[in-house]
A = this chain, B = another copy of it.
Amino acid sequence: MVDGCAVKVVDADRVSAVRERMPAAEDVTDTADVFGLLADPNRLRLLVALLDGELCVCDLAAVTGQSESAVSHALRLLRAHRIVAARRSGRMAYYRLEDPHVRMLLDVALAHTEHTEAIHPERDGRS
């Protein structure tokens, strides 16, 4: 709860209040990591495809239009973070969305996809 820097501060009260509410550094980076896993269109498509239930690798590749190698690499990453889990049956591997937290984020994000979304910064973001 010590300070650390605070060279020039305008509203010192707000600053220390916000500092209080700020999650621990580790929590912030973990959350950023999760967002990072959702930040790739191909990975995002994989997860959206898994919202309704498990699918095998080749079907995931077909649905998302990626090479099976790319899908495998992506799933490996997601699996390493326990966002996705695999069930094996013979030579097939069926993947499912395992992390309810991520499912919730996807639901929120997709719900807004239909209505709003999309601001492509043409030049700048001034009013």
Contact = CB atoms under 8 A, between A and B. Distances in A.
Interface of A: 4-11, 14-15, 17-19, 21-23, 25-36, 38-41, 44-45, 48-49, 51-53, 55-56, 58-59, 62-63, 65, 76, 78-82, 85-86, 92, 101, 104-105, 108-110, 112-114, 116-119, 121, 124-127
Contact of A39 (B35, B56, B76): B35
A53 B119 CA distance: 23
A23 B62 contact: no
Nearest to A117: B30
Given A79-B125, A85-B127, A9 B62 contact: yes
Contacts of A117: 27, 30-31, 34, 101
Contact of A41 (B10, B29, B76): B29
A26 to B, nearest CB: 7
A92 B8 CA distance: 13
A110 B92 CA distance: 36
21 contacts: A5-B65, A8-B62, A10-B92, A11-B55, A18-B52, A21-B52, A22-B63, A23-B110, A25-B41, A28-B45, A31-B44, A33-B39, A39-B39, A78-B125, A79-B124, A80-B125, A81-B119, A81-B121, A104-B108, A104-B112, A105-B109
